[in-house]
């Protein structure tokens, strides 16, 4: 019918229409919200699926690990976060959801449904900026949180945190070798801090 109602409802601007022409879809911009489908009075829009990435499962040291990978050129990485959470949640025990650094859609998706959050940042202007943004998101979602300051001594900047982890060459060495610092240097100050976090989760 070329009424254009779907165009006006699409908040991601994934639909385009030339005058008196059938609307066209830019699928790279489509978030899959289905607003166009629900708003169309003629039932002219049909849903379909497409591959945008993969989820994976692995196990190490008795810990089940679920991860995801976004297909190159696909922009909607938050959909992968949803898929990983759907596959990994609901299992017995404690579930830890990790996400990339920064303040973006993936972080919001990772936080949704969580009971508690560790907001990890660094003593930099960018770290402080992102921390403020994520604090607001956590409060809006009603999630309790604590702040962990990583590489706490790399600058003179002060950020309030319940736990401060200093910079360490030994931690960097373990990261490069693919070994946990808790395994290689169990007596190290950072290992003790990680143990403190783990103990707190089990309470």
pLDDT digits (tens, 9 = 90+) for 46-103: 988 888 999 999 998 788 999 999 999 888 888 899 999 999 888 788 889 998 888 8
Instruction: Please state the pTM of the whole predicted model.
Output: 0.76
**Domain residues for 129?**
92-202
Low-confidence stretches of the chain (pLDDT beneath 50): none
Same domain, yes or no, for 87 and 128?
Answer: no
Pair 148, 161: CB distance under 8 Å: yes
Same domain, yes or no, for 109 and 198?
Answer: yes
As for how many domains the chain has, the answer is 3
Same domain, yes or no, for 65 and 116?
Answer: no
DSSP string computed for 32-90: ---HHHHH-TT----------EEEEEEEETTEEEEEEEEPTT---HHHHHHHHHHHHTT
E strands within the chain?
A: 15-16, 24-25, 53-60, 63-70, 116-121, 144-150, 163-165
Evaluate whether residue 46 is within a structural domain: no
Same domain, yes or no, for 129 and 197?
Answer: yes
Mean pLDDT of the chain: 90
């Amino acid at each position: 019918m070329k009424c254009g109602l779907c165009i006006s409802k699409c908040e991601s601007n994934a639909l385009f229409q030339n005058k008196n022409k059938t609307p066209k879809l830019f699928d790279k911009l489509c978030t899959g919200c289905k607003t166009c489908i629900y708003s169309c009075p003629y039932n002219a829009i049909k849903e379909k699926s497409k591959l945008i990435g993969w989820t994976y499962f692995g196990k190490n040291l008795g810990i089940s690990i679920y991860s995801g990978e976004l297909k190159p050129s696909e922009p909607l990485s938050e959909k992968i976060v949803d898929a990983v959470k759907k596959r990994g949640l609901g299992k017995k025990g404690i579930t830890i959801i990790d996400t990339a650094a920064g303040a973006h859609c993936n972080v919001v998706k990772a936080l949704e449904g969580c009971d508690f959050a560790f907001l990890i940042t660094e003593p930099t202007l960018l770290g402080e900026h992102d921390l403020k943004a994520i604090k607001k998101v956590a409060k809006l979602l009603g999630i309790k949180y604590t702040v962990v300051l990583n590489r706490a001594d790399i600058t003179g900047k002060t950020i309030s945190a319940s736990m401060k982890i200093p910079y360490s060459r030994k931690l960097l060495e373990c990261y490069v070798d693919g070994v946990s610092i808790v395994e290689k240097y169990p007596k190290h100050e950072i290992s003790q801090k990680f143990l403190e976090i783990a103990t707190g989760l089990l309470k």
